[in-house]
Amino acid sequence: MKSEGSRERGYTVEALAKGLRILALFSERRSSLRLTEIVALTGLPMPTAFRLVATLEGEGYLERLPDGAVRPSAAVLTLGFAALRGLDLVQTSSVILNELFTATRQTVNLGVLSLDRVVYIARLQSDTVLVTANVTVGTTLPAIVTSMGKVLLAFMPQAELTKHISATSFGGPWGPNALRTLPALEKELARIRSAGFAVQDEELASGLRSIAAPVRQNDGRVVAAVNVAVPAREFTVNDLRKRVRDPLLAACAQISRRLGAPA
């Protein structure tokens, strides 16, 4: 009979484990490594180490330096902080999100940014069937075609925007009103900063609209967004502004106060 430990080892993905061991090599004192150093530290064969490093680089978790060495990219930190931040946010906001759901009777989401995508960390789904019915906690969607994503991008320092958004961010079979260029996105983000909220009007998919507002932490930075998603057949953009915007803004302000944001 196999022990519990041997059963657990049988479920592991060895290539993933090796890749994680490579990422774990980096530290404050060892901020970059050459391939030969990775081979020496891990004991991996050179071809295996080469493939793993190439994969991590291709997925955006390692970046190549001019001297040929590699180091962890911002993506590693982004994913980690998003997860940790998300745990506290969900606990802090759960009651308020439920109150918003009760007030609107529409789907309510809480999300954070990871690279050019929004990570859904809480979701209260209404009885109304939406085209995004398969979205669950942990789902990621492109930031540029979601109301939460546009809010998070809008309140980001301008220098950071190009680190999150590239030409590849605009690809995909999205809705009829999806933004397709960086200049168009920048104009939309300026409007969002001025208004304090974002509307998604059939940009993610036909038949779906949503409205989102920012959540701020104690230093005033936007760390998350909340949206209310509705079927386009029942809500116009004006309906979102008249019927949903105020309770949404009030909920986000309340969550922000709980996070210590200035009033």
Of 13, 43, 72, the residue at which a domain comes to its end is 72
Tell me the C-alpha distance between 144 and 38, whole Å: 37
Instruction: Give the number of other CB atoms < 10 A from CB of residue 206.
Output: 12
Pair (45, 24) in one structural domain:
yes
Pair (185, 246) in one structural domain:
yes
Pair (67, 82) in one structural domain:
no
The whole-chain average pLDDT of the chain stands at 87
Pair (102, 218) in one structural domain:
yes
Those residues whose C-beta lies under 8 Å from the C-beta of residue 175, and which sit 6 or more positions away, are: 145, 202, 203, 204, 205, 206, 208
Tell me how many domains the chain contains. Answer: 2
Pair (42, 141) in one structural domain:
no
Residue, of 1 and 72, whose pLDDT is higher: 72
Of 19, 49, 72, the residue at which a domain comes to its end is 72
Of 49, 72, 95, the residue at which a domain comes to its end is 72
Residue, of 68 and 74, whose pLDDT is higher: 68
Instruction: Give the number of other CB atoms < 10 A from CB of residue 144.
Output: 28
CATH number, position 179: 3.30.450.40
Under DSSP, the state recorded for 233 is: T
CA neighbours closer than 13 Å in the CB half-sphere of residue 111: 32
* pLDDT over threshold 90, residue 3: no
119: phi then psi, degrees, rounded to nearest 5:
-100, 120
User: 4 pLDDT band (50/70/90 cuts)?
Assistant: very low
* pLDDT over threshold 50, residue 202: yes
pTM of the complete model: 0.69
Least confident among 74-78, 150-154, 182-186: 74-78
Question: Is 143 a member of any domain?
Answer: yes
Question: Is 263 a member of any domain?
Answer: no
Under DSSP, the state recorded for 205 is: S
Pair (144, 28) in one structural domain:
no
Pair (29, 85) in one structural domain:
no
Pair (109, 40) in one structural domain:
no
Question: Is 184 a member of any domain?
Answer: yes
Pair (31, 133) in one structural domain:
no
CATH number, position 43: 1.10.10.10
Question: Is 59 a member of any domain?
Answer: yes
80: phi then psi, degrees, rounded to nearest 5:
-65, -45
Under DSSP, the state recorded for 33 is: B
- Supply the pLDDT for residue 28: 62
Supply the range of the domain harboring residue 9: 4-72
- Supply the pLDDT for residue 17: 83
85-132 per-position pLDDT tens digit: 555 688 889 999 999 999 999 999 999 998 888 988 889 999 887 877
End-to-end CA distance of the chain: 61
User: Across the chain, which distance is largest between two alpha carbons, in Å?
Assistant: 65
- What number of H helices and E strands is found in the chain? 10, 8
231-262 per-position pLDDT tens digit: 999 999 999 999 999 999 999 999 999 988 98
Those residues whose C-beta lies under 8 Å from the C-beta of residue 235, and which sit 6 or more positions away, are: 209, 243, 244
- Supply the pLDDT for residue 2: 44
Question: Is 149 a member of any domain?
Answer: yes
Percentage of the chain modeled with pLDDT above 70: 89
Quick one: average pLDDT of 66-81? 73
Angle, CA of 223, 228 and 232, to the nearest 5°: 140
Pair (87, 63) in one structural domain:
no
Q: Is 102 helix (H, G, I), strand (E, B) or coil?
A: helix
Pair (65, 85) in one structural domain:
no
Pair (126, 165) in one structural domain:
yes
Question: Is 27 a member of any domain?
Answer: yes
